[in-house]
Chains A and B, each alone.
Chain A
Amino acid sequence: MNSSKPLTGGGLLFEVLEQHGVEHVFGYPGGAIMPIYDALYDSNVKHFLCRHEQGAAFSAVGYARAAGKVGVCMATSGPGATNLITGLADALADSIPVVAITGQVATSAMGSDAFQEIDIFGLSLACTKHSFQVSDINDLENVLHQAFEIALEGRQGPVLVDIPKDIQQAEVTSRLEEFSHLTNKVQLPLADISNAIDILTHAKQPILYVGGGVGMANAIDEVRSFAEQTGMPSVSTLKGLGAINADNENYMGMLGMHGTKASNLAVQECDLLVVVGARFDDRVTGKLNEFAPNAKVIHFDIDTAEINKRRFADAAILGDLKANLPLLSMSLNISEWQAKVKQMKADFGWRYDHPGSKIFAPAVLKEMSDLMPKNTCITTDVGQHQMWSAQHISVDDPCNFLTSGGMGTMGFGLPAAIGAQISRPHDTVIAVSGDGSIMMNVQELATIKRYQIPVKILLIDNAKLGMVRQWQDLFFDGRLSETDLADNPDFSQLARSFEIKAQTITEKSQVSEALKEMIDHQGPYLLHVKIDAKDNVWPLVPPNTANDKMMESV
């Protein structure tokens, strides 16, 4: 701080950020947030200028997810603020702790349709966990502290703080001794432990259904030792990938729409689902009333509202997974079931043989997974390449697989990788993107260039909006409507114009060397991989169908 100047609202913002350990923020300036950017000038917080506010929001999400910290983004009023919204919605759907700061027109101008005035506070109601609009400089400090507390408390999520320009400029005359903590925490009902133990002891064919809540609760060790001690076969959601170690012999991989055949068949047959930090999402369950039709449910969660929301829980255990799960740990006599599951796993393993010389994306992703250094953080965009990544890349921690799960937002991958790399400068970060998705936040190549962020981009190019094309082929009589991208730019040349090293490959024989070159390269790198436009993601459970009725080819 420059001690000759009085502390303003803007300066206070950065003091509070520093008190919460924030070292990096992502943002974009503009008129109504200028006093905050002026205060930034004197601050120790490092700001990354993204090239679109959506990029800033996703970088904050990637930062938060990769490092397990709160991500912070900021934007000006009006269009700056609305550009953050998709990122906030994404963070809400995936329960990611983000604090978004928006500038607002001065209090006196609010409500007058002033230049760049939008009711971002009203807009935020549906896409944040909570939001604040500060109307008095004396409230600012408390609000900012509460924003961090709310983002991290219970089920995590995004919080928006809208700060009018005059509040940013106002002089701070008194400081808090201590901020007021949240008082209205949801009281969790007593856990049904004895009932759950009873159900578990009687189960003959139990399955552990692992979701994103495990990583968020920091309960990976507890879930792994529960899986070991019970010997229970396990399956994972998209967001849970990495929570169970891939070498656990009873782990069957992802379940749901593009889950493994073994996972989906086993879940349909099981007599008990032990659900940890998962929420019976429709992409997981397929036709809900035919999902795991014979199973009782023991549901562990931090959010009361998830219990009985989509599936009745025979026993609900609300609260901290880390503390609660060990209470149920016991050895089970389920060797017949384990043997059956192992057989399914062996019978329905992935196959990487593929005729012809064209590149087969699943094989590329598998090879990359085998080559990449330990602790590599993968981000993905949305589409076929995302599902192939989930199927064929193995990670050992959910913070190493960042993908837009609940919202399925194209444009996530590149800015999330930037955030991840900034939070973990010593780990390799690879964004797996598609030719459609990368164009949604392609401007962030400029952020990579400016800060020389050594992100690797594996671009799977099928010259299509592939996932939509696949659905049009399968479910809309092949009427390909607006899914062709044959006129894509030359992606390698595009990358080079941002001083990013790049290479395009088209043949299987080029894959190994190109992957090695990308991974070993010190700086940013784009590997452009052209694949056949007709390749599909298998298996696929068609919409509103039971999970055991998956399609495996056309």
Chain B
Amino acid sequence: MNDYKLIIMTDDKQVVLERILQVTRYRGFLINGMNAQVNTGNQIATIELFVSSERPIELLIDQINKLIDIKGVKVDNKAENNGAQQHSA
């Protein structure tokens, strides 16, 4: 199992958390934790998601990125790969 930390920038819409969790589970990633402040009245929210899986993280990044409310996803995993990859929506 590899551990990853994702940083997700999203429009601060209702249920965006639920959507991200559903996609993450369905695509085969175990959710180990998250930090999120949503519905704050700001337009944009940032979500940190800690996941683990045997599968390459790019598979999850691409799927989360496709969610309509998502602005961008990057992986911040110092242990796995130095330097973060940027993917934007």
- A contacts, CB < 8 Å to B: 121-122, 125-126, 129-130, 150, 182-187, 303-305, 307-309
Q: Please tell me which stretch of B30-38, B45-53, B66-74, B75-83 contacts chain A, meaning at least 4 of its Cβ atoms lie within 8 angstroms of it.
A: B66-74
B11 in contact (CB, < 8 A): yes
Could you pull out 25 A-B pairs where Cβ atoms are within 8 angstroms?
A121-B15, A122-B18, A125-B22, A126-B22, A126-B26, A129-B68, A183-B11, A184-B11, A184-B68, A184-B70, A184-B71, A184-B89, A186-B65, A186-B89, A304-B62, A304-B65, A304-B66, A305-B59, A305-B62, A305-B63, A307-B62, A308-B58, A308-B59, A309-B59, A309-B62
Q: Chain B contacts of A305 at CB under 8 A?
A: 59, 62-63, 65-66
Which one of A122, A130, A303, A307 lies within 8 Å of B68 (CB-CB)?
A: A130
8 shortest interchain CB distances as A-B pairs: A305-B62, A130-B68, A125-B22, A184-B89, A186-B89, A304-B62, A187-B88, A305-B63
In the complex the two chains form, what is the Cα distance from A309 to B11 in whole Å? 26
In the complex the two chains form, what is the Cα distance from A265 to B43 in whole Å? 54
Q: Chain A contacts of B66 at CB under 8 A?
A: 186, 303-305
Residue ID in chain A nearest B23 by CB atoms: A125
Q: Chain A contacts of B59 at CB under 8 A?
A: 305, 308-309
In the complex the two chains form, what is the Cα distance from A437 to B63 in whole Å? 33
Q: Chain A contacts of B19 at CB under 8 A?
A: 125
Chain A nearest Cβ from B32, distance in angstroms:
21
In the complex the two chains form, what is the Cα distance from A183 to B56 in whole Å? 28
Chain A nearest Cβ from B66, distance in angstroms:
6
Chain A nearest Cβ from B38, distance in angstroms:
16
Chain B nearest Cβ from A99, distance in angstroms:
14
Chain B nearest Cβ from A134, distance in angstroms:
11
Q: Chain B contacts of A125 at CB under 8 A?
A: 15, 18-19, 22
Residue ID in chain B nearest A130 by CB atoms: B68
Q: Chain A contacts of B68 at CB under 8 A?
A: 129-130, 150, 182, 184
Residue ID in chain A nearest B11 by CB atoms: A184
If A184-B11, A305-B65, A305-B66 are given as contacts, then 5 extra A-B residue pairs at C-beta distance below 8 Å, sorted by A number, are A130-B67, A184-B68, A186-B66, A186-B89, A304-B66
In the complex the two chains form, what is the Cα distance from A309 to B66 in whole Å? 14
In the complex the two chains form, what is the Cα distance from A304 to B70 in whole Å? 14
Give the secondary structure class of A's interface: loop
In the complex the two chains form, what is the Cα distance from A192 to B58 in whole Å? 18
Q: Chain A contacts of B56 at CB under 8 A?
A: 308
Give the A-B pair count, Cβ closer than 8 A.
41
Chain B nearest Cβ from A139, distance in angstroms:
11
Residue ID in chain A nearest B26 by CB atoms: A126
Chain A nearest Cβ from B72, distance in angstroms:
9
In the complex the two chains form, what is the Cα distance from A129 to B67 in whole Å? 8
Chain A nearest Cβ from B55, distance in angstroms:
10
Residue ID in chain A nearest B70 by CB atoms: A184
- Is B89 within 8 A of A185, CB to CB? yes
Residue ID in chain B nearest A125 by CB atoms: B22
In the complex the two chains form, what is the Cα distance from A129 to B69 in whole Å? 12
In the complex the two chains form, what is the Cα distance from A187 to B65 in whole Å? 10
Residue ID in chain B nearest A154 by CB atoms: B66
Chain B nearest Cβ from A289, distance in angstroms:
16
Q: Chain A contacts of B65 at CB under 8 A?
A: 186, 304-305
In the complex the two chains form, what is the Cα distance from A130 to B62 in whole Å? 16
Q: Chain B contacts of A121 at CB under 8 A?
A: 15
Given known A125-B19, A126-B22, contact A184–B69 (CB-CB < 8 A): yes
Chain B nearest Cβ from A547, distance in angstroms:
24
Q: Chain B contacts of A183 at CB under 8 A?
A: 11
In the complex the two chains form, what is the Cα distance from A329 to B58 in whole Å? 30
In the complex the two chains form, what is the Cα distance from A126 to B59 in whole Å? 17
In the complex the two chains form, what is the Cα distance from A303 to B63 in whole Å? 10
Chain A nearest Cβ from B89, distance in angstroms:
5
Q: Chain A contacts of B69 at CB under 8 A?
A: 184
In the complex the two chains form, what is the Cα distance from A183 to B19 in whole Å? 18
Chain B nearest Cβ from A329, distance in angstroms:
28
- Give the one of B11, B22, B62 with max A CB within 10 A: B62
In the complex the two chains form, what is the Cα distance from A540 to B70 in whole Å? 42
- Is B89 within 8 A of A187, CB to CB? yes
In the complex the two chains form, what is the Cα distance from A184 to B75 in whole Å? 19
In the complex the two chains form, what is the Cα distance from A125 to B22 in whole Å? 7
- Give the one of B63, B66, B71, B89 with max A CB within 10 A: B66
Chain A nearest Cβ from B11, distance in angstroms:
7
Chain B nearest Cβ from A180, distance in angstroms:
11
In the complex the two chains form, what is the Cα distance from A214 to B67 in whole Å? 23
Chain B nearest Cβ from A195, distance in angstroms:
19
Q: Chain A contacts of B67 at CB under 8 A?
A: 130
In the complex the two chains form, what is the Cα distance from A257 to B34 in whole Å? 42
In the complex the two chains form, what is the Cα distance from A401 to B28 in whole Å? 33
Residue ID in chain B nearest A121 by CB atoms: B15
In the complex the two chains form, what is the Cα distance from A150 to B19 in whole Å? 16
Chain B nearest Cβ from A121, distance in angstroms:
8
Q: Chain B contacts of A303 at CB under 8 A?
A: 66
In the complex the two chains form, what is the Cα distance from A101 to B5 in whole Å? 37
Q: Chain B contacts of A129 at CB under 8 A?
A: 68
Interface residues in B1-48 by Cβ distance below 8 A to A read 11, 15, 18-19, 22, 26
- Give the one of A122, A130, A184 with max B CB within 10 A: A184
In the complex the two chains form, what is the Cα distance from A121 to B18 in whole Å? 11
Residue ID in chain B nearest A184 by CB atoms: B89
Chain B nearest Cβ from A40, distance in angstroms:
28
Chain A nearest Cβ from B54, distance in angstroms:
15
